[in-house]
Amino acid sequence: MTEYHEYSLSGRVFHKLQDDILKGNYKEQDELKELTIGEELGVSRTPVREALRQLELEGLVKIIPNRGAFVTGISDKDVADIYYIRSLLEGLCARWATEHITTEQIEELESIVLLSEFHSNKADSTQVVDLDGKFHEILYQASNSRILEHQLSDFHKYVKLARATSVKTKERTNKSIAEHKAILKAIKDKDADLAEQLANEHILNVMKNLHKMGEILEDK
Amino acid sequence: MTEYHEYSLSGRVFHKLQDDILKGNYKEQDELKELTIGEELGVSRTPVREALRQLELEGLVKIIPNRGAFVTGISDKDVADIYYIRSLLEGLCARWATEHITTEQIEELESIVLLSEFHSNKADSTQVVDLDGKFHEILYQASNSRILEHQLSDFHKYVKLARATSVKTKERTNKSIAEHKAILKAIKDKDADLAEQLANEHILNVMKNLHKMGEILEDK
DNA sequence: TAATGTATAATTGTATACAATTATACATTA
DNA sequence: TAATGTATAATTGTATACAATTATACATTA
């Protein structure tokens, strides 16, 4: 997100721990000791402390004064809640994007949809996932609201990492691309109401698909 | 929010800076020098650094590596955007609260409404503002979603501080209390659709009132 | 045995030292 | 004068020292 995180040690520690927590590499209530983590990553306690303080603000870690930092993690219910919240906010985002989008951004979205259709028939699913992420990021920017953009980027990152395992079926991938196409058309037609509704439903559909995947996985 | 912020130096520095930024005590792009702030608050650089890293995550400060931390602040448009986002999320919150609220929480809300009506005729407006905050906080808890609660608490804190000057008129206060009453009734009646709609409109009304206040203030 | 007390180890909280980077003031040059 | 170079100061980045707090192991007591 912010440049500083790429270059400073504390930023790198932050990202590493965030990824590990969201990917489920820690158990709930695991203790994150400053010295231990520092040794694992080859840094001193200072950058680790700074990272832990940031993770606390994100709600991924709970800090008890003088006692330590403990993993909070993100439950299945949390993920579901985020999808409901996201569906509302992506709707609002599509509405605002309709009002503020630039011709350059529309062109970007069109080329993403095109590329998505091209890659959807190939085996490589990471490409399509990447393009999906880009599609939404551009919409966030087009909303012209740094608050909403910040919020949705955060949520997007969360569900992406927390559910990295949920590979999409080819059927769902194609439907998803068709939904993107419909949202883009509504935005181009300046139909804010429709854009909002379609974006809203799009996220709910993504969530429903996750549920189905979960049930399939549980059945095994 | 979290206990640790009350007791540690870095937590206190974090709160002080957050309050100052939200209250507009800094100008946009003001530089926050670690040593200077440390001297002002009588602490070393370490707690200041930790606080600045947290504020960066909240979006109130922008850190440029090796150069410094600069105030981002929160504009009038940001506040307006937050109200739109909040109106959607408070609606969702009221819906979920309808499904999950406990009898104790209903009783708390009822006593808050009662107290609000009692104090609304008095001169002391801080009481009513406090009760308003409590009403919403209980709804957040009743939603049974730590994600939504966390989100709404943050937004609530933001607009409260950023607009602390906007004193309410007695007319708006009474309408606001009536709206709380209606939301509570819908929740008690288990009418989730109505609760959502009323909570939604309630926040939009609060915002509209702020706009009116702004116009009045600008006219002077 | 179970409960309590106590010394020691482990850990966090904070300040500070040193290195690395950037900003500033001033000199030099065309 | 305007542009560039350079020494110095200011500032951030990181590691570490020391103090304060908490956890642990073990002894003592009823």
pLDDT tens for A13-27 read: 999 999 999 988 999
Chain B: residue whose CA lies nearest to A84: B92
Integer Cα distance of B153 and B73 in angstroms: 18
B71 CA to D1 C1' distance (Å): 37
pLDDT surpassing 80 at residue A28: yes
Give residue A125's pLDDT band: very low, low, confident or very high (50, 70, 90).
confident
Strand D footprint at Cβ < 7 Å? A 4, 8-10, 38, 43-47, 65-67; B 31-35, 45-46, 49, 63, 65-69
Give residue B1's pLDDT band: very low, low, confident or very high (50, 70, 90).
very low
Integer Cα distance of B24 and B38 in angstroms: 20
pLDDT at B220: 44
Chain B: residue whose CA lies nearest to A63: B4
| pLDDT, mean of residues B202-210 | 91
User: Which structure tokens are listed for B161?
Assistant: 């501080």
Q: Which nucleotide is nearest to A7 (CA to C1')?
A: D13
CA distances to A80, B165, B187 from B197, rounded to whole Å, are 22, 28, 11
pLDDT surpassing 90 at residue B167: no
Chain A: residue whose CA lies nearest to B69: A4
Asked which of A148-152, A207-211, B61-65 is least confident by mean pLDDT, the reply is A207-211
Nearest to B10 among A2, A7, A53 (CB): A53
pLDDT at A127: 86
Residue A166 near residue A213, CB atoms below 8 Å: yes
Which of these, B24, B37, B184, lies nearest to B116 by C-alpha position? Answer: B184
B64 CA to C25 C1' distance (Å): 24
SS (H, E, C) A167-196: CCCHHHHHHHHHHHHHHHHHHHCCCHHHHH
Q: Which nucleotide is nearest to B48 (CA to C1')?
A: C14
How close B180 comes to chain A (CA, Å)? 22
Residues 6 or more apart whose Cβ sits within 8 Å of residue A60: A17, A18, A21, A22, A71, A72, A73, A74
Helix (H) or strand (E) holding A64: strand A61-64
pLDDT at A1: 44
Q: Which nucleotide is nearest to B49 (CA to C1')?
A: D12
pLDDT at B214: 65
pLDDT at A31: 96
Residue nearest C13 (alpha carbon to C1'): A66
B12 CA to D25 C1' distance (Å): 36
Give residue A72's pLDDT band: very low, low, confident or very high (50, 70, 90).
very high
pLDDT surpassing 80 at residue B215: no
- Other CB atoms closer than 10 Å to residue B153's CB: what's the count? 16
- Find chain A residues with C-beta within 8 A of B82's C-beta: 147
Residues 6 or more apart whose Cβ sits within 8 Å of residue B107: none
Q: How much helix, strand and coil, in percent to the nearest 5, is found in chain A?
A: 75, 5, 20
pLDDT at B136: 97
Which one-letter DSSP state was computed for residue A123? S
| pLDDT, mean of residues B180-184 | 98
Residues 6 or more apart whose Cβ sits within 8 Å of residue B183: B94, B139, B195, B198, B199, B202
CA angle, A93 then A160 then B50, to 5°: 85
- Other CB atoms closer than 10 Å to residue B166's CB: what's the count? 15
| Position with higher pLDDT, B197 vs B73 | B197
Note the pLDDT tens digit of each residue in A4-13.
566 789 999 9
Q: Is the C-alpha dihedral spanning A55, B152, A78, A181 positive or negative? A: negative
- Pairwise CB contact (< 8 Å): A65 & B150: no
pLDDT at A219: 56
Integer Cα distance of B33 and A44 in angstroms: 23
A171 phi/psi in degrees, rounded to 5 = -60, -50
- Find chain A residues with C-beta within 8 A of B8's C-beta: 65
A35 CA to D7 C1' distance (Å): 40
- Pairwise CB contact (< 8 Å): B57 & A54: yes
| Position with higher pLDDT, A160 vs B33 | B33
pLDDT surpassing 80 at residue B144: yes
- Other CB atoms closer than 10 Å to residue A214's CB: what's the count? 13
Q: Amino acid identity of B197?
A: Q
DSSP string, B49-68: HHHHHHHHHHTSEEEETTTE
Note the pLDDT tens digit of each residue in A154-203.
999 988 877 654 556 788 889 999 999 999 999 999 999 999 999 999 99
Give percent above pLDDT 90 in chain A.
Answer: 74
Give residue A151's pLDDT band: very low, low, confident or very high (50, 70, 90).
very high
- Pairwise CB contact (< 8 Å): B63 & A4: yes
pLDDT surpassing 80 at residue B162: no
pLDDT at A211: 72
pLDDT surpassing 90 at residue B111: yes
Q: Amino acid identity of B155?
A: F
Give percent above pLDDT 70 in chain A.
Answer: 90
Interface of chain B against chain A, CB under 8 Å?
Answer: 2-4, 7-8, 10, 46, 49-50, 53-54, 56-59, 62-65, 77-78, 81-82, 84-85, 88-89, 92, 145-148, 150-151
Catalogue the E-assigned strands of chain B: 31-32, 61-64, 68-71
How close A69 comes to chain B (CA, Å)? 11
- Find chain A residues with C-beta within 8 A of B85's C-beta: 89, 92, 147-148, 151
- Pairwise CB contact (< 8 Å): A64 & B8: no
